[in-house]
Amino acid sequence: MQTAPDSTASPTAAAAHLPQVHLPRNEGMPLDLDWVAGVQANTSAIERRAATLPGRRSVKKDYQAAWLLKAISCIDLTTLSGDDTPGRVRRLCAKARQPVAPDLLDRLGMPGLTVGAVCVYHEMVPTAVQALEGSGIPVAAVSTGFPAGLSPWPLRLAEIGESVAAGAREIDIVISRRHVLTRNWQALYDEMRQMRAAVGDAHIKAILATGELGSLRDVARASLVCMMAGADFIKTSTGKEAVNATLPVTLTMIRAIRDYHERTGIRVGYKPAGGISKAKDALVYLAMIKDELGDRWLQPDLFRFGASSLLGDIERQLEHHVTGAYSASWRHAMG
C-alpha cells in the first residue's frame, strides 16, 4: 500500500521549519494518581503489533522520497561526544542548513529544506547559535546532568538556565530514573514541574531513558506523569543507554500521548533517539506516528528524530532515487 503523509504533498509544507499553526504549549495539570495507577501496558500485544510494522508499509519511488524529505525536516542533528570541538559543531550546523546537496533538492522540488534542530552539549550552545544565525533552526541543549541525571539538584536547574541564557530554544532534560523504578510518581512530577519552570519560554523535552525503566507499563506511567508536569516533548533515550529507541517503547509512549490529548486537548511531541540510523527505520517510525496520532504529528513541532548518521543514509537513498546510483557514504559526512 503506497501512502504518504498529507503534508508531503506540498514541498513548502514539508520543508518548513515552523508549523503552519502555533500550538498552545502544554502547561501541565495537577498530578492525577488515579489516572497514573490505572495505566496498563499489555507487553505481549504491544510487541506483536510492533513486530508487524516494518512489513505493513511499503512506500516506493516518489512516495518514499517524500517521506524521507519529511524525515529530514524532523531530525535533531546531534553531536554529543566528549571530543566535540567548535569546528565540528560549525560543520554540523552547516550540514543542518544544507542537509542534502543543493542539486538533489532542486531536482526533488525542495530547495531550502533544513533539519528540525541541532542538539549539542551546553558548552557548544554559543557556537551553534552563532553558526545557525538567520537560519531559523533552533539549538537544543542536553541538560540536567546528561546522561545520568545524577548531579546535584541546584546544579541541574542552573544548567537549564545557563543553556537558555546562551541561546538554546529547546532543552532536553533527563529525569531521575530512580523515581520511576521506585514508582515515586509525586517526586517525578515535582522534579519535572521545577525543570519546566526553569526553561521559561524555551521548550522542554523529557528524556525517560526507557531502556533503564524496567517495564512498558512504567514507561507509559512515566510518560503520563511528565506530560502532566508540563513536558512539551517526551523522548525515549539519551542515546547512551544499552537499549535506546525501540518500536514497542515508541508504541507505548505515543499511545500515552494520544490518551493525554484525548483527555486534555493538548498535543505533546515525541522524540525517539538512539539507534535509528537507517532510512528504512525512519519510514517505519513515520508510518507509526501517522497511524497512531495522525498527520498533525508529522510536523517538526511535534515529532523529532534524535540522530546524526540517519541523515547520511537518507541522503544516499535520495541520491539513488534521483540518479539511479548509490554514492559512497564518505560523501555524506556529518561534520
Domain ranges in the chain are: 9-16+30-324
Instruction: Check pLDDT > 80 for residue 16.
Output: no
Whole-angstrom CA distances from 169 to 118, 166, 302 are: 10, 9, 15
Query: Is 172 assigned a catalytic role?
Result: yes
- Average pLDDT in the 254-281 region? 96
The region of weakest confidence among 221-225, 232-236, 329-333 is 329-333
Closest CA to 228 of 200, 198, 191: 191
> Please, which pLDDT band fits residue 208 given cuts at 50, 70 and 90?
very high
Instruction: Check pLDDT > 50 for residue 167.
Output: yes
Catalytic residue among 70, 205, 271, 290: 271
Amino acid at 72: I
The region of weakest confidence among 22-26, 71-75, 300-304 is 22-26
Catalytic residue among 70, 76, 95, 172: 172
Residue 172 has what pLDDT?
Answer: 98
- Average pLDDT in the 317-332 region? 80
> Please, which pLDDT band fits residue 308 given cuts at 50, 70 and 90?
confident
Contacts of 49 (CB under 8 A, 6+ apart): 251
Contacts of 193 (CB under 8 A, 6+ apart): 28, 229, 230
Q: How far apart are CA 3 and CA 57, in angstroms?
A: 8
Residue 334 has what pLDDT?
Answer: 59
In terms of DSSP bridges, do strands 305-307 and 269-271 run parallel, antiparallel, or are they unpaired? unpaired
3-state secondary structure of 232: coil
> Please, which pLDDT band fits residue 164 given cuts at 50, 70 and 90?
very high
> Please, which pLDDT band fits residue 326 given cuts at 50, 70 and 90?
confident
Residue 9 has what pLDDT?
Answer: 41
Residue 325 has what pLDDT?
Answer: 79
- CB 77 within 8 Å of CB 307: yes
- Average pLDDT in the 59-71 region? 92
User: What CATH class is the domain 9-16+30-324?
Assistant: alpha beta
> Please, which pLDDT band fits residue 114 given cuts at 50, 70 and 90?
very high
Write the DSSP symbol of residue 150: -
* Cα 127 to chain centroid, rounded: 22
Residue 246 has what pLDDT?
Answer: 95
Whole-angstrom CA distances from 292 to 77, 136, 255, 257, 260 are: 25, 29, 7, 10, 13
Query: Is 235 assigned a catalytic role?
Result: yes
Select the more confidently predicted residue: 54 or 14. Answer: 54
Whole-angstrom CA distances from 74 to 48, 69, 122, 198, 260 are: 27, 9, 22, 25, 22
- pTM reported for the whole predicted model: 0.91
Catalytic residue among 70, 95, 205, 235: 235
Residue 165 has what pLDDT?
Answer: 98
Query: Is 83 assigned a catalytic role?
Result: no
Whole-angstrom CA distances from 90 to 84, 86, 131, 140, 328 are: 10, 6, 6, 15, 23
